[in-house]
Structure 1
Amino acid sequence: MISPKWILVDEIVSDKKECIRKLIHALEASGDVQDAEGLLSDIMEREGLSSTAVGSGCAIPHAHSASITATRVAAARLHEPIDFGSQDGDQVQLVFLMAGPKKDTGIHLKVLSKVARLLHDPAYRSRFLEASDAESFYAVLCQTET
C-alpha cells in the first residue's frame, strides 16, 4: 500500500493544499490514480468536514474516491511545519495521505487506525523525523509490522 517512491522527505510546501497535491502527485507513480484533480477534490472535501490533523504535529488526510483504483498511502516529512487546522494549534510536519475506492472501506479503516496509532507513539514520530531519506522512512514503517 506504500512504497518509498511515494514518500517525500524534507518536502517544501506553503500550505495544506499544496502538501496534499504533492502527495497525490507522488501516488500517481503507482498507476492507481485515474484522476489526480478528482482525488484532490475528494480529499479537500473531507478536510472541509474537519481537519485530519491528529495532534503532535501529524496529519492523515484521507478519502474514499472514484479517482483511485486501490487503497494507497503516501507520506511526507515536511522541511518546515505548516498549518493544517489542528485542534491543538500545532503545526504539522508529518503527513500520511491515504486514499482508496469506496469498496475498500474495511481496509481503509484498518490502515487509518494503524497509522494513527503509530503517530501517537512519540518513539515512532521521532524515528520518522530523524529518517535520512525515503528508504529510511519506509524502513521505520516496515519495522512496525513485526
Structure 2
Amino acid sequence: MKVNINGQDYEQELDPDMPVLWVLRDVLGLTATKYGCGIGQCGACTVLVDGQAMRSCTTKVRFVEDKQVQTIEGVSREFLHPVQKAWIDEQVPQCGYCQSGQIMSAIALLNENPEPTDGEIKSFMSGNICRCGTYPRIIKAIRKAAQND
C-alpha cells in the first residue's frame, strides 16, 4: 500500500484493515498521535485526512490510500502553527496526553470555520476528551488562534 503521511509517500506491505493509528505508531514510528480509547470516542488519536479530522484508531489504512494524512508531527516544520502558539500562550495542557488530538481537531475546525463562535467551538471539539478539564483554556486558545490566522 502507498500512504502519504505529512507530505511524504510511504510504500509498505500493510493489512488494508489495519487502523491508521497502528501504521503511524508501530510501522512508521510517529508516536505523537496517541491511543486513548480505541473506539473513536476520546479524540486522542485525531489526525487530518485531506484536511478533515479523523479518528485514526478506527480509520482503516485502506481508507487513506491516495489521501493526505497529517499528524501533529507534520503541523509545523520551521515555525509554530497559530493553534500551537495559542496553546502555549494560553497554557492549555496539563498532563498533555490529549493535546495532539485536541490541536489537530482545532486546526480542522479553523480550516472549516475560520471565525467560530464559542458554541461552534464547543460543538466541534465535543468529541475530544480532556481528563484534566482544560476546556475553558482550549476555547480561549482556539479563539486566539482564529484572531491570529
Q: Say whether the fold is shared (TM-score over 0.5).
A: no
TM-score, length of structure 1 as denominator length: 0.29
Choose between structure 1 and 2: higher strand proportion: 1
State the structure with more CA Rg. 2
Choose between structure 1 and 2: higher helix proportion: 1
TM-score, length of structure 2 as denominator length: 0.28
